């Protein structure tokens, strides 16, 4: 007989696989039968199982993720037409998008863009009073034949834009609040390394550890935020239970290295969006961003690379 704990982790594994499939195909239409096949559940029972675990039906989840992704892009990609963003997020009919967006955010998409742009401008003005000397300036690095940025931001060590290759990662996912919860992160890392260690998956020249943030905390309510603690693994690695596997596609990223305490992470992220992006000539691309950890934390300080996918303005 399967133990209840083992049964739960198997269900979680299958639901996480469905999450990954939805996120990778968010611009496409999906059928219940298709999603049930990904989860390896009967189509007659999949919706009820999904709802009991996630708290939403599959299509409620898809609609919410599409709307929240659109909201993030509407604010971060101000030059892109709202209709183009809607299509990119899986809405084939702009009137359906508009109706659902207004129902979810209690305002039109254009008003949402205007309100959040005004709020960010006010926040930026306040931020500039404290960070007037922290604006980055770019320079050409002859040795690497690439552009980098100089900055006086005390926590920042370097900034560059470069291509990152495709990575296969094993992960443990958390849904819910995570900001400032050191014990939560420590617990998840311990569980992931306890799984990876006996399988010989820790270490090596290309080994990386990272945390992927699937949702915008400025848009998604805390209880629905998805975060994945990950390590890179060979593509053929077998996973099970609470440990899932996904691919991070090759893309161009801004990679900013910081030395931080646990309390400094928000300041570093705010600097990236408030100081670096407005002077860079880039805008965020519509892929997940993540933190990469090249070193073990020492004396309560973390060396972390904040990685945000970018595209030209």
Domains 4-113 and 146-312 share a fold: no
Residues 6+ apart with CB under 8 A from 68: 215, 216, 219, 220
Residue 211 has pLDDT above 90, yes or no: yes
- pLDDT band of residue 213 (cuts 50, 70, 90) is very high
HEC string of the chain equals: CCCHHHHHHHHHHHHHHHHHHHHHCCCCCCCHHHHHHHHCCCCCCHHHHHHHHHCCCHHHHHHHHHHHHHHHHHHHCCCCCHHHHHHHCCCCCHHHHHHHHHHHHCCCHHHHHHHHHHHHHHHHHHHHHHHCCCCCEEEEECCCCEEEEECCCCCEEEEEEEEECCEEEEEEEEECCCCCCHHHHHHHHHHHHHHHHHHCCCCCCCCCEEEEECCCCCCCCHHHCEEEEEEECCCCCCCCCCEEEEEECCEEEEEEEEEECHHHHHHHHHHHHHHHHHHHCEEECCCCEEEECCCCCECCEEEEEEEEEEEEC
CATH number of this structure's domain 146-312, picked from the four choices 3.40.250.10, 3.20.20.70, 3.40.50.300, 3.20.80.10: 3.20.80.10
- Across 50-54, 60-64, 71-75, 139-143, least confident range: 139-143
Nearest to 287 by CA among 235, 312, 250: 250
pLDDT, residue 2, reads 39
4-113 belongs to which homologous superfamily?
Answer: Homeodomain-like (1.10.10.60)
Nearest to 269 by CA among 123, 168, 119: 123
- What is the residue extent of each domain of the chain? 4-113, 146-312
Q: What is the pLDDT of residues 173-197, one digit of tens each?
A: 999 999 888 899 999 999 999 999 9
pTM: 0.82
pLDDT, residue 76, reads 85
Q: What is the pLDDT of residues 90-124, one digit of tens each?
A: 999 999 999 999 999 999 999 999 998 766 544 44
Mean pLDDT of the chain: 87
Nearest to 195 by CA among 226, 222, 172: 172
Q: What is the pLDDT of residues 262-296, one digit of tens each?
A: 889 889 998 988 888 888 888 888 888 999 999 88
């Amino acid at each position: 007989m399967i133990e209840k704990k083992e049964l739960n982790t198997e269900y979680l594994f299958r639901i996480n696989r469905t999450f990954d499939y939805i996120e990778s195909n968010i611009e496409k239409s999906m059928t219940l039968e298709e999603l049930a096949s990904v989860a390896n559940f009967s189509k007659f029972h999949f919706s009820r199982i999904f709802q009991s675990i996630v708290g939403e039906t599959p299509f409620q989840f898809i609609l919410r993720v599409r709307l929240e992704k659109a909201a993030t892009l509407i604010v971060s990609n101000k030059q892109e037409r709202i209709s183009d963003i809607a299509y990119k997020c899986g809405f084939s009919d702009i009137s359906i998008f508009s109706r659902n967006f207004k129902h979810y955010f209690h305002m039109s998409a254009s008003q949402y863009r205007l309100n959040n742009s005004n709020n960010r401008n006010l926040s930026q003005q306040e931020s500039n009073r404290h960070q007037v000397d922290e604006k980055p300036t770019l320079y050409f690095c002859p040795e690497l034949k690439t552009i980098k940025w100089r900055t006086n931001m005390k926590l920042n060590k370097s900034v560059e834009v470069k291509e990152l290759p495709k990575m296969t990662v094993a992960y443990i996912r958390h849904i819910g609040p995570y900001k400032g919860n050191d014990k939560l992160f420590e617990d998840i890392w311990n569980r992931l390394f306890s799984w990876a260690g006996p399988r010989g998956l820790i270490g090596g020249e290309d080994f990386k550890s990272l945390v992927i943030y699937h949702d915008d905390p400025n848009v998604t309510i805390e209880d629905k935020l998805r975060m994945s603690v990950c390590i890179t693994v060979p593509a053929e690695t077998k996973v099970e239970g609470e440990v899932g596997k996904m691919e991070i596609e090759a893309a161009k990223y801004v990679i900013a290295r910081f030395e931080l305490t646990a309390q400094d992470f928000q300041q570093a992220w705010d600097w990236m969006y408030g100081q670096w992006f407005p002077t860079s000539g880039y805008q965020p691309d519509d892929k997940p961003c993540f933190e990469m950890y090249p070193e073990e934390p020492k004396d309560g300080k973390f060396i972390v690379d904040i990685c945000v996918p970018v595209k030209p303005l």
